[in-house]
Amino acid sequence: MKNYELLVDRIAKSSGLSREEVVLKVEAKKAKLSGLISKEGAAQIIAAELGISFEEEDLKISELIGGLRKVNVIGKVMNIFPIREFEKNDRKGRVANFILADETGSTRVVLWDTNHIGLIEDGRIKVGDVVEIRNGSTRDSEIHLSSFGELKKSKIVMNAIKNAPAVSEGTLEEARQGMSVKVRGVVVQVFQPRFYFVCPTCNKKVVASDDGKFKCAEHGKIEKKDKAILNFVLDDGTESMRVVMFSDQIKALVPEEDLADEVKSAAFRDEFIGTEIYLSGRVNRNQLFNNLEIVASGIERVDVEKLITELDGKD
């Protein structure tokens, strides 16, 4: 929620409204949208309605939200990833990524311009350097830099850095778009499972044709196989976040066919609520709700007995 507090401060400062007035506006907006958006999202809308732009301002990393243009940020390079090559529509390109941190947090910077990538490649910009980014744009909280952007070394000395590394055992509060996370939390809400259908041979998604039969593009008419998607809300004490779980993760918790059975499905959901789990996954933006969610890649129940034994062993 720190991000939200900063946004409210900025809106109050730029609009001349009091913090309380801004908060009331945000809450009214959120209520009007039936709570479907986060507080940050609602604050962003209020800012836009008040004509407040965050463009061309120096921002702290924790203030970055999606959709900003001409963003300026100063931070320290914490980690540089290998340069990747990609091919899109017969066009070959290269992209570089690094983690940038300041005293408020860290984020990923994505470089699309060959000159910028060159700075990384030949070591003119390396881990530990303080860099200045001008004219970046944001996708969620990531900074993207095209050839219109600027990347250069800064003479500013930065000591107090808050580096929430890209892959970490962390908190939901620190979760950012694109991050891989491992968190420990309690399941506080479980939704009804949804189902989709796949071809039993190639596992690709299939849809019913006009005659009600299912057809795979490769294997023709097939007997569909049901696959479940299960959403739940995890709370780790710092924040609660929606988690999406597909077949592979579901199977680790419950036989998938049980979810198709109304009684067994309800029993599983009752049992799953309140359980403590370790969750690994990737943080993604849900386009429909415009909030962050985690796509699970691993779920494990916290074995309290085992933890106690381990703790005893340390004495």
Measured from the CB atom, the residue of 146 and 201 that comes closer to Zn ion is 201
Measured from the CB atom, the residue of 32 and 204 that comes closer to Zn ion is 204
Measured from the CB atom, the residue of 202 and 267 that comes closer to Zn ion is 202
Is there binding between residue 201 and Zn ion (CB under 5 A)? yes
Is there binding between residue 257 and Zn ion (CB under 5 A)? no
DSSP string of the chain?
-HHHHHHHHHHHHHH---HHHHHHHHHHHHHHTTT-S-HHHHHHHHHHHTT---TTSB--GGG--TT--SEEEEEEEEEEPPPEEEEETTEEEEEEEEEEEETTEEEEEEE-SHHHHHHHHTTSS-TT-EEEEEEEEEETTEEEE-TTSEEEE------------SEEE--GGG--TT-EEEEEEEEEEEPPPEEEEE-TTT--B-EE-TTS-EEETTTEEE--EEEEEEEEEEE-SS-EEEEEEEHHHHHTTS-HHHHHSHHHHHHHHHHHTT-EEEEEEEEEEETTTTEEEEEEEEEEE--HHHHHHHHHHH-
* Residue 246 β-bridge partners: 229
Is there binding between residue 221 and Zn ion (CB under 5 A)? no
Among 213, 219, 221, 251, contact with Zn ion (rule: CB under 5 A): 219
Q: Which stretch binds Zn ion (CB under 5 A): 123-131, 219-227, 268-276, 304-312?
A: 219-227
Asked if residue 117 lies in contact with residue 81, where contact means CB atoms within 8 angstroms, the answer is: no
Measured from the CB atom, the residue of 167 and 217 that comes closer to Zn ion is 217
Q: Which stretch binds Zn ion (CB under 5 A): 121-129, 160-168, 175-183, 208-216?
A: 208-216
Binding track over 180-199 against Zn ion, x by CB under 5 A: -------------------x
Asked if residue 147 lies in contact with residue 115, where contact means CB atoms within 8 angstroms, the answer is: yes
Is there binding between residue 84 and Zn ion (CB under 5 A)? no
Q: Shortest Cβ distance from residue 199 to Zn ion (Å)? A: 3
Measured from the CB atom, the residue of 2 and 213 that comes closer to Zn ion is 213
Measured from the CB atom, the residue of 218 and 310 that comes closer to Zn ion is 218
Q: Shortest Cβ distance from residue 155 to Zn ion (Å)? A: 59
Measured from the CB atom, the residue of 182 and 225 that comes closer to Zn ion is 225
Q: Shortest Cβ distance from residue 45 to Zn ion (Å)? A: 44
Q: Which stretch binds Zn ion (CB under 5 A): 87-95, 187-195, 212-220, 228-236?
A: 212-220
Q: What's the rounded Cα separation, in Å, for the pair 116 and 111?
A: 6
Q: Shortest Cβ distance from residue 208 to Zn ion (Å)? A: 15
Q: Shortest Cβ distance from residue 215 to Zn ion (Å)? A: 9
Kindly list the residues in this chain that would bind Zn ion in the complex (CB under 5 A).
199, 201-202, 216, 218-219
